[in-house]
């Protein structure tokens, strides 16, 4: 039975008339789809492309996981929901604060508002840190929300389900299986719980490890493609997008192509502090090296001179002030420093060499965070009445709820 539409964060969303599934395939650069399609290993995506149901979309900046997942579930950029990365500096102090707690969210999610209005909502994430952010505000008496990372620990009281429906063992959070389990659980929940809305969010471990045409990536893309078909066959409308793309970030000798900004500023502007918002508890596969950094300066620092100095660094592509970042990148002013720095497509930004553990990198570095990883795919299982003018990944719920042609 369809209820009235809901307005969430100034956008109106129709009440779902069939199960609506939004997938955030973490780090799923368009290149992964293209490589698998070219080898006939992604029939769902190939058909969607041929039928005009697959397009390029633009993600939020910085092109990291948490800001973009929060954008997708709120339908808004970070300037509205407040999550601008994993870290910021507490205003007026030198204390880095981790921004992965729901208390930092400034906007309700579409999932939470539908759940509070009586819709049945299921959320499955790979990483538990995202489960807490994305499950915030759900009415758990009528919802399911768990991470496959901690699938063994689910309880009815906290996660809305007594046992996670995952038919195979998960070796670790650094595996393809932790993401595959998200999809397997999604298909199972579609049958057992008949949700009105479902949100599935994977991890980008595979994309950090493998280039699009490597077997590890091709097998993963084929798996994702198959589950998109299975979810559609089970009666869902499916919209898949990604939080960010992924690019190779290494030199011809295989070493990471890094500019260590804190070391540069230790000489040019002592007291300035570089924050890398990619830093989080899961750094094994990227060494906390991404293509976006924000720099906090001292009150008397010459901001123009420091920006000019950073622009001279070969790996650096763009240096803008906080005001420009608020305007152009839709970032929240109080959660970024005085300058935002973005690396070139093939480069990343670090603090100091000694602060990055690169010994765990078993493969040439692939990462994200900058402008070159802002492009993502957006795929719909069903035809749309009309595409948005400029598609953003955080239009996913608008598309699945408002724009899909009726069956
Ligand atoms: Zn990600």
| Per-residue confidence (pLDDT) for residue 371, from 0 to 100 | 98
As a whole number, mean pLDDT of residues 228-242 equals 98
- Alpha-carbon distances of 168 from 40, 152, 164, 181, 288, rounded to whole Å: 27, 12, 11, 8, 30
Q: How far is the CA of 244 from the centre of ligand 1 (A)?
A: 6
pLDDT at 282 over 90: no
Q: How far is the CA of 358 from the centre of ligand 1 (A)?
A: 19
Q: How far is the CA of 277 from the centre of ligand 1 (A)?
A: 12
Task: Judge whether 78 and 71 are in contact, CB under 8 Å.
Answer: yes
Distance CA 359, CA 287 (A): 9
Place of tokens 């719909």: 380
Q: How far is the CA of 129 from the centre of ligand 1 (A)?
A: 12
Q: Dump strand ranges (E) for 160-248.
A: 197-201, 237-241, 247-248
| Per-residue confidence (pLDDT) for residue 398, from 0 to 100 | 98
| Per-residue confidence (pLDDT) for residue 92, from 0 to 100 | 77
Q: How far is the CA of 27 from the centre of ligand 1 (A)?
A: 5
Q: How far is the CA of 86 from the centre of ligand 1 (A)?
A: 12
pLDDT at 284 over 70: no
pLDDT at 270 over 70: yes
Count CB-CB contacts under 10 A for residue 353. Answer: 11
pLDDT at 313 over 80: yes
Q: How far is the CA of 365 from the centre of ligand 1 (A)?
A: 15
pLDDT tens digits along 83-115: 999 888 887 787 888 888 999 999 999 999 999
Give me the residues paired with residue 350 across strands: 260
Q: How far is the CA of 65 from the centre of ligand 1 (A)?
A: 4
pLDDT at 241 over 80: yes
Q: Dump strand ranges (E) for 25-94.
A: 54-58, 87-89
Binned at pLDDT 50, 70 and 90, residue 374 comes out as very high
Distance CA 138, CA 331 (A): 26
Give the domains, in start order, of the chain with CATH numbers. 6-245+373-403 (3.40.720.10), 258-367 (3.30.1360.110)
pLDDT over 70 for what percent of the chain? 98
| Per-residue confidence (pLDDT) for residue 285, from 0 to 100 | 67
Binned at pLDDT 50, 70 and 90, residue 1 comes out as low
| Per-residue confidence (pLDDT) for residue 281, from 0 to 100 | 63
| Per-residue confidence (pLDDT) for residue 2, from 0 to 100 | 65
Q: How far is the CA of 136 from the centre of ligand 1 (A)?
A: 19
Find the Cα–Cα–Cα–Cα dihedral 333, 334, 335, 337, rounded to 10°.
80
Distance CA 258, CA 252 (A): 13
Q: How far is the CA of 343 from the centre of ligand 1 (A)?
A: 17
């Amino acid at each position: 039975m369809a209820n009235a539409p809901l307005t969430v964060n100034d956008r109106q969303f129709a009440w779902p008339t069939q199960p609506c599934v939004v997938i955030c395939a973490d780090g799923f650069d368009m290149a992964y789809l293209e490589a698998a399609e070219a080898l006939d290993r992604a029939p769902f995506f190939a058909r969607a492309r041929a039928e005009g149901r697959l397009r390029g979309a633009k993600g939020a900046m910085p092109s990291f996981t948490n800001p973009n997942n929060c954008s997708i579930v709120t339908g808004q950029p970070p300037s509205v929901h407040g999550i601008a990365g994993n870290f910021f500096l507490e205003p007026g102090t030198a204390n880095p604060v981790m921004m992965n707690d729901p208390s930092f969210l400034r906007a309700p999610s579409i999932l939470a508002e539908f759940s509070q209005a009586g819709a049945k909502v299921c959320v499955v994430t790979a990483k538990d840190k995202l489960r807490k952010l994305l499950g915030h505000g759900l009415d758990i008496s009528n919802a399911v929300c768990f991470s496959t990372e901690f699938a063994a620990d689910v309880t009815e009281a906290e996660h809305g389900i007594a046992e996670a429906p995952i038919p195979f063992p998960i070796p670790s959070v650094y595996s393809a299986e932790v993401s595959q389990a998200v999809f397997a659980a999604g298909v199972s929940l579609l049958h057992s719980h008949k949700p009105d809305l479902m949100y599935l969010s994977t991890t980008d471990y595979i994309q950090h490890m493998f280039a699009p045409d490597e077997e590890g990536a091709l097998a993963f893309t084929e798996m994702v493609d198959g589950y998109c078909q299975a979810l559609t066959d089970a009666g869902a409308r499916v919209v898949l997008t990604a939080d960010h793309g992924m690019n190779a970030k290494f030199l011809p000798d295989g070493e990471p192509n890094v500019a260590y900004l804190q070391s540069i500023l230790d000489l040019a502007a002592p007291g300035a502090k570089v924050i890398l918002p990619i830093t989080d508890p899961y750094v094994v596969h990227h060494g906390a090296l991404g293509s976006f950094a924000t720099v906090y300066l001292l009150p008397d620092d010459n901001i123009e001179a420091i920006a000019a100095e950073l622009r001279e660094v070969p790996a650096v592509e763009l240096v803008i002030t906080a005001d420009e970042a608020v305007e152009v990148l839709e970032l929240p002013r109080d959660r970024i420093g005085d300058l935002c720095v973005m690396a070139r497509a093939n480069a990343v930004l670090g603090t100091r060499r000694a602060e990055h553990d690169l010994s765990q990198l078993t493969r040439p570095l692939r990462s994200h965070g900058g402008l070159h990883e802002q492009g993502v795919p957006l795929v719909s299982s069903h035809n749309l009445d009309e595409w948005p003018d400029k598609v953003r990944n955080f239009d996913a719920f608008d598309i699945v709820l408002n724009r899909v042609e009726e069956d």
